[in-house]
Structure 1
Amino acid sequence: MLRPLFAREYSMVPDCLTPTAPLWETDLAVQLEQLAEVSPHLLLRELEADFAGTVPRQWRSVVDRPKAFITAYTAILRAAWEAFGPAWTQAGSLLAREAERVGIAAVSNALPPVLAGLGHRVRFSEQTLYVPDPYPETFERGTRPVVLVPMVSGNGASVFSFDRPDAVWFGYPVPALSTLWTSFREPDERKDSLQLVVGTLRAEILRELVRPSTMGRLASTLSCTPATMTYHCGQLESAGLVSRERQGQHVWVRRTSRGAALVDLLTGRHG
């Protein structure tokens, strides 16, 4: 019954079936009760509008049985909340720490490394944010501010909207989300501002690069695999904080002036 939600060219959720009230204002149980009472006629009108009057065959089962679809969809959301609810209730400190991290980056002009680390499939390069999409499009934000929205979700999730005239928003998994699915731990309060902005390993890389180093030596010094080092150095390079150059059999990594300035600014250390 819910297969239309995952139809490749026509994967979407009508607005009338999207709970949008903040959980700190309206309990999700109340929102789900309201969702179950959505009028089938409203759903059909939105489908007509969303598909410009011609509902594709993948959604014809919904047109034929709209009330059954609403009931099944509400049941799925209720089951999902039963699984995610405990993590959400524990996520307050992670969300607060992420707000602090982004705030520090914003006032320190250090947002590029934050944008480059919003997800393992997200890339930021030359003022452009690239996100995975089977049907890619290009959007211009113009002069609108970008609002970052950390989410308690799957590690590969990302949602965004360019519909609002006053802002562009991008939702991404809150860092350290995996801790919510095991034994919950408070974030390490000993982390300094550099670690908060770029992450622990990338902060260690930047600190280690007081002098240029090879990728192999960095990986050995920081006890990580070459593949891990390559990935993180690539992200730092995209953010303009390091540069890489192959010389013979080795790839040398250097901290850029921008990277050195960031380390100085966020740690108060010079070198």
Structure 2
Amino acid sequence: MSLSISPHLTALALITDALAGRRRGLPGLWRDAIAARVGRPGHQAVRPLAAPGTSVGPDCLVPLTPARGDATVPEQLAALRDLPPGRLLADLEQAFGSGPLPVQWRSAAERPAAWLHGYASAISEAWDTAAPLWDNARALLDREIRRVGVAAVRGGPEALLGTLSPRLTYGGDRLLVSGADAGTHDLGERPIVLVPMLAGKDALILSLDDREAVWIAYPVPGAATLWRRPAAPARDELSALMGQVRADLLCAVARPKTMSMLAADMQIAPSSITYHCDRLRAARLITRERRGREVWVGRTHRAEELLELFRRT
């Protein structure tokens, strides 16, 4: 048994929770921040991961397997962007057989290059949000390295694997998994590689079919202590540029909201919200879209660029 520090699995767990709707305990503030940061191609690429009843996916979701050592997010992204489209098609066939693909993966198979580009974008943009969290987790990861080392020597795999997730039970070289992919898996003599993640408490990513090794990505113990409000723009400087109300309003629409939702959240009269939205729309910082009786407000790409500028200052 060994341990791999592969933060790409953290990014995958975050987009699965925040974008694919597989709620695994990620706090709402972080779901909103990641959903707002990831662009449309990334959102579209992650949709196949949202299909109910199964979480099976192609191996190229993790192009550099943790079984072969640590890999940084830039290294994983470089490997993803170098993958030929045919690799995705081959991995889909390996995952689902030679018959018709599950409906959620058919659009990816029809445009494999576009899917790979969108998925790489989702990982990259989610990591832009999560990287500071990972930097703050060094002490937790160091403690987990020590814990795994001690447990592997003293208690064997049974004692250790039982602590990773309530969905896992191990005994007699067999791993029992509950949930969407419930089943019993014979591990044989294959080595087991553990990959701690910064993810919701119920997150779990498994690779059980590789002939070389089994790897299990799980939430690092103590991760909940790190969940704080995601990095936000420097509002004092932003307020100096456009005024307090408009700065707060722009920050409030990380995900689209209705005018009535904004009025309630900000405790401002609807007429005042309309006035400030008019000014932000004139500056090309928000969009307004009528859906039935409601008007939905969202940020433009121009607004995202402005907020990113203030995050860096």
For the aligned pair, the TM-score class normalised by the smaller chain equals 0.5 to 0.7
Distance 1:167 1:15, change over 3 A: closer
| Among 136, 154, 178, the residue aligned to 1:132 | 178
Partner of 2:215: 169
Specify the SS of the correspondent of 1:63: helix
* Cα deviation 1:76-115 (Å, max 9, x = unaligned): 1112212221122222221221121222233333765543
Partner of 1:5: 49
Specify the SS of the correspondent of 1:139: strand
Deviation at 1:74, TM superposition (A): 1.6
Q: Are 1:85 and 2:131 matched, yes or no?
A: yes
Uncovered stretches (5+) of structure 2, i.e. residues with no partner? 1-43, 230-313
* Cα deviation 1:131-188 (Å, max 9, x = unaligned): 33323221122344444332233221122333344543322211111222239xxxxx
1:158·1:173 contact (CA, 8 Å) conserved in 2?
yes
Matched to 2:145, the amino acid is A
For 1:6 and 1:63, locate their aligned partners in 2 and report how far apart those are by CA, in whole Å: 16
Q: Are 1:159 and 2:202 matched, yes or no?
A: no
Distance 1:147 1:9, change over 3 A: same
Deviation at 1:8, TM superposition (A): 3.4
Partner of 2:195: 149
For 1:168 and 1:38, locate their aligned partners in 2 and report how far apart those are by CA, in whole Å: 23
For 1:74 and 1:53, locate their aligned partners in 2 and report how far apart those are by CA, in whole Å: 26
For 1:35 and 1:73, locate their aligned partners in 2 and report how far apart those are by CA, in whole Å: 9
| Among 138, 162, 166, the residue aligned to 1:116 | 162
Specify the SS of the correspondent of 2:183: coil
Matched to 1:150, the amino acid is P
Distance 1:117 1:65, change over 3 A: same
Uncovered stretches (5+) of structure 1, i.e. residues with no partner? 184-271
Partner of 1:53: 98
For 1:35 and 1:72, locate their aligned partners in 2 and report how far apart those are by CA, in whole Å: 11
For 1:26 and 1:161, locate their aligned partners in 2 and report how far apart those are by CA, in whole Å: 16
Partner of 1:64: 110
**How does 1:242-253 map onto structure 2 within 5 Å?**
none
Aligned residues: 182
For 1:17 and 1:135, locate their aligned partners in 2 and report how far apart those are by CA, in whole Å: 17
Matched to 2:57, the amino acid is V
Distance 1:142 1:52, change over 3 A: closer
| Among 6, 15, 22, the residue aligned to 2:59 | 15
| Among 22, 38, 47, the residue aligned to 2:83 | 38
Distance 1:89 1:70, change over 3 A: same
1:117·1:123 contact (CA, 8 Å) conserved in 2?
no
**How does 1:175-254 map onto structure 2 within 5 Å?**
175-182=221-228
Specify the SS of the correspondent of 2:203: coil
1:4·1:10 contact (CA, 8 Å) conserved in 2?
no
Task: Report the RMSD for the aligned CA atoms in angstroms.
Answer: 3.2
For 2:98 and 2:208, locate their aligned partners in 1 and report how far apart those are by CA, in whole Å: 23
Distance 1:124 1:60, change over 3 A: closer
Specify the SS of the correspondent of 2:186: coil
For 1:51 and 1:32, locate their aligned partners in 2 and report how far apart those are by CA, in whole Å: 24
Matched to 2:117, the amino acid is T
Distance 1:9 1:89, change over 3 A: same
Distance 1:166 1:16, change over 3 A: closer
1:115·1:129 contact (CA, 8 Å) conserved in 2?
no
1:19·1:31 contact (CA, 8 Å) conserved in 2?
yes
Q: TM-score, normalised by structure 2?
A: 0.48
Specify the SS of the correspondent of 1:160: strand
> Of Structure 1 and Structure 2, which has the larger fraction of its residues in helix?
2
Bigger RCO of structures 1 and 2 (CA < 8 A, at least 6 apart): 2
Deviation at 1:70, TM superposition (A): 1.9
Deviation at 1:17, TM superposition (A): 4.0
Matched to 2:87, the amino acid is L
Matched to 1:20, the amino acid is L
1:4·1:11 contact (CA, 8 Å) conserved in 2?
no
Specify the SS of the correspondent of 2:139: helix
2:206·2:216 contact (CA, 8 Å) conserved in 1?
yes
For 1:90 and 1:137, locate their aligned partners in 2 and report how far apart those are by CA, in whole Å: 36
2:196·2:218 contact (CA, 8 Å) conserved in 1?
yes
